Amino acid sequence: MIKVTCLGAAGSVTGSNYLVENSQGKKVLVDCGLFQGGKQIES
């Protein structure tokens, strides 16, 4: 069995993360986000 947990991207379009876990306890974090905006916003 595979479990997918959606993390991040709350309140914005970018920064989506997904935690994928299998039945043996192996975990992979997939980062699908890309920061968009100027340097002022990033800080």
Q: What percent of the chain has pLDDT over 70?
A: 63
**Tokens encoding 31:** 């980062």
Question: Is the distance from CB of 20 to CB of 28 less than 8 angstroms?
Answer: yes
Kindly indicate the confidence band of residue 32, based on its pLDDT and cuts at 50, 70 and 90. confident
Span 13-24, average pLDDT: 87
Q: What is the pLDDT of residue 3?
A: 97
> The whole model's pTM is what?
0.63
Q: Where are the domains of the chain?
A: 2-34
Q: What is the pLDDT of residue 1?
A: 93
Rounded-to-integer distance, Cα 21 and Cα 32, Å:
17
Rounded-to-integer distance, Cα 18 and Cα 33, Å:
10
What are the counts of helices (DSSP H) followed by strands (DSSP E) for the chain? 1, 3
Q: What is the pLDDT of residue 20?
A: 97
Under DSSP, the state recorded for 43 is -
Question: Is the distance from CB of 34 to CB of 14 less than 8 angstroms?
Answer: yes
Span 10-29, average pLDDT: 86
